[in-house]
Amino acid sequence: MAQLKDDCFAFGGELMALERAMEILKNRIDIVAEPELVSLRDALGRILAEDIASPRDVPPHDNSAVDGYAVCHNDLLPDEETRLPVSGRVAAGHPLGRPAKSGEAVRIFTGAPMPDGMETVFMEEDCTADGNTVILPPGLKSGANRRKRGEDIEKDDIILRRGQLLRPQELGLAASVGRDRLRVYRRLRAAVFSTGDEVCDPSGDSIEGGIYDANRFAIMGLLDSLGCIVTDLGILPDDQNQIATALQGAVPVHDIILTSGGVSAGEEDHVKAAVEQNGTLDFWRLAIKPGRPIALGQVKGTAFVGLPGNPVAAMVTFMVIARAMILLLGGATNVSAPRFPVVADFDYKKKSGRREWVRASIARNLAGQVVASKFRSSGAGVLTSMVAADGLVELPEDIEVVRAGEIVDFLSFNEVSR
């Protein structure tokens, strides 16, 4: 199993912009997942570990785009109807079997290979069948309704690139050139645990002064959506030795370990010390809101991510930082989720030099515009806002004021929660 360098997350700078953080991650993180060969049926959602070159043209021959009649264009009268004998029939998978003859028409169906010597197809609804002949109208251009060989893909074209996330359309494209197996990176193995004597599992009763563990389940769900194989290490007490033991046990069989909270320098924050017993931990002070310093490190070469303790901050920092890191570890090359322009229907002020995400729902107004409505509360602990919202309005560092009616960028949860 590949391991991370001890200093891959070391950063001695001051408050860091998000773009700089992403640049560092892309430059310092190595792929830790090994390639494996899987069937197309098992490749959905995986990350491709090879370039795919087509061994053939697609389509492999000129073919008809419609049902109708194939002809030689030179046989057509330019200004009046042309009558030709119908002397053959071509269906998909059943070629004519001989070169076309001048002065004949061939009945042809969609997808059928064009007879050699013919380059034009009349749609059947434009023609009139008359016994063994067909009457063709004037004015059709040469090559009409013909799909050319290699029109979609030419032999030796690279159709898929290493690092691509495989969706249904990529699987269909691979199948179209005769590939039934693909080399992909194996799924990342992720371990998740929570800490705190006050943290209770929702399967039982809460102790006096306790809280139910929301973050662990949210994080595991986000990892599931990225295709990770997730191990739930449960809730660990505020005990450095027990946490260190759990970390050591997780290292040999996992590629990344994640938790939330408990990694600062407080008297009861034991995760930081437990990580540093067998590895390194760096705090990245990012100029973002919600969120606070995110802890990135490694335990004996296995990546460690310490997310903020507040549930909204934990989910947002996962979506914009940890998600990209996990995709990079797993072999992906495109780790940036798309943003979409929407119209803000709210006024908002923010601090200059800091990137902020505002939880918002979207809807189309009477003018047909997609409009973002801000959730009523901005608190980092208001988990209901993540359920009510459709995503995040992203406000870059140089913006201080947003006015209703202005165009803003929107990051959909659908893009970062799958």
Give residue-wise pLDDT tens across range 124-156.
Answer: 999 999 999 999 999 999 999 999 999 999 999
Given phi > 0 = left and psi -120 to 50 = alpha, else beta, which region is 231? beta
CA distance 110 to 63: 8
- What separation in angstroms does the CA of 263 have from each of 191, 258, 305? 16, 11, 10
Q: What's the average model confidence in pLDDT over 352-369?
A: 95
Q: What's the average model confidence in pLDDT over 329-346?
A: 95
Percent of the chain beyond pLDDT 90?
79
Q: What is the pLDDT of residue 254?
A: 97
What mean pLDDT, rounded, does the chain reach?
93
Higher pLDDT, 395 or 260: 395
pLDDT band (50, 70, 90) for residue 12: low
Percent of the chain beyond pLDDT 70?
97
Q: What is the pLDDT of residue 16?
A: 85
Evaluate if residue 296 carries a pLDDT over 70.
yes
Q: Which residue has the tokens 């997609």?
A: 370
Q: What is the pLDDT of residue 100?
A: 93
Evaluate if residue 99 carries a pLDDT over 90.
yes
Which numeric CATH code is attached to 18-34+187-329?
Answer: 3.40.980.10
pLDDT band (50, 70, 90) for residue 284: confident
Q: What is the pLDDT of residue 1?
A: 60
Q: Where are the domains of the chain?
A: 18-34+187-329, 35-57+155-185, 63-147, 340-413
Higher pLDDT, 314 or 7: 314
* Level-2 CATH architecture, domain 35-57+155-185: Alpha-Beta Complex (3.90)
Coil, strand or helix: which one is 258? strand
Q: What's the average model confidence in pLDDT over 59-73?
A: 97
One fold for 35-57+155-185 and 340-413: no
C-alpha neighbours within 13 Å on the C-beta side of residue 241: 0
pLDDT tens by residue, 160-208:
999 999 999 999 999 999 999 999 999 999 999 999 889 999 998 888 8
Evaluate if residue 244 carries a pLDDT over 90.
yes
CB atoms within 10 A of CB 210: 14
Q: What is the pLDDT of residue 291?
A: 84
Which numeric CATH code is attached to 63-147?
Answer: 2.170.190.11
CA distance 215 to 254: 20
pLDDT band (50, 70, 90) for residue 265: low
CA distance 233 to 259: 10
Q: What is the pLDDT of residue 281?
A: 86
Evaluate if residue 267 carries a pLDDT over 60.
no
Q: What is the pLDDT of residue 264?
A: 65
Q: What value, to the nearest 5°, has the Cα angle with vertex 344 and ends 339 and 347?
A: 130
* Class for the domain spanning 340-413: mainly beta
Higher pLDDT, 408 or 20: 408
pLDDT band (50, 70, 90) for residue 35: very high
pLDDT band (50, 70, 90) for residue 32: very high
CA distance 89 to 216: 65
pLDDT band (50, 70, 90) for residue 418: low
Evaluate if residue 45 carries a pLDDT over 90.
yes
Q: What's the average model confidence in pLDDT over 381-394?
A: 95
Q: What is the pLDDT of residue 380?
A: 80
Q: What's the average model confidence in pLDDT over 107-132?
A: 97
- What separation in angstroms does the CA of 96 have from each of 92, 107, 189? 10, 10, 55
pTM of the entire predicted model: 0.87
